[in-house]
Structure 1
Amino acid sequence: MSVSEDKPKQTKFLLIGETGNGKSSVGNFILKSNVFKVSDSTISETREADVQSGEGERSDVTVIDTPSLQELKEFNEEFLNGIVGYVKEEEGINGIVIVLNYNTNIISNNIKTMIEIMSKIFPSQDFLKHICIVWNKCYYYISDRLI
């Protein structure tokens, strides 16, 4: 008689956003490990999709860190097909995490386009329920004038 191990269901998140908004930092936070390269530079550290899985209590979590949408010389079908191909190969994703800078009050056309394309590729009435917006760079600041 053999006892089968029950593997926990894998949860997969796709991170999208612009350079400097902290996609890789959010990925590290989710996985509770510094697996994605981060910096304070205005130049993107992520050049191609980077897939990392957690360890220990996070072994059931996978994060896909994508290049900045604004850094891509060509926000084109090849890039989108690469992301979609990976997602299909990995049997889907559970959530799309959109990382935005709290101090910027617009959402770029590239992010809007990416969401529209993903919603068409993965049609579901519940598609929007799988999107999470993370507002990064929210600093509590009191002006010297108010003090």
Structure 2
Amino acid sequence: MRALLQRVSEASVSVAGEVVGQTGPGLLILVCAMEGDTAKQAGALAAKAAKLRIFRDEAGKMNRSLLDCGGGALVVSQFTLAADTSRGNRPGFSAAARPEVGEALYLALAEALRELGVRVATGRFGADMAVALVNDGPVTIWLEG
């Protein structure tokens, strides 16, 4: 699985002008299931995201995790993270998991975060979504697992 984490002050996702998910301080997690990925990988990626020390401590150093600071997470599926740009100018997405598998793993990652105690909101799988965010830092981290 691939995930792009952005530390945010706030983030929201809308479908057809309606906000379907939002979070205050915490993480926006854009996630893509790849062909061959498993629910075990979704759980491991969720744990890594929740425990990654990318939030400021009292001294201003990145030393606290999402769990430490009690932040929320907005999890949004984004199959374009599977883009292969190695040939030509049109990206290929054949490495992405099939939609039914991708959705199940996306939801498994969100549920694994909830089980760790993170407040989780989600987008709508397969929908044309508009994502708004205030990137805090900015801090943007790529995870693969």
TM-score exceeds 0.5: no
Structure showing greater Rg: 1
Which structure has more RCO (C-alpha within 8 Å, separation ≥ 6)? 2
Structure number with higher strand proportion: 2
Using structure 1 for the length normalisation, give the TM-score. Answer: 0.32
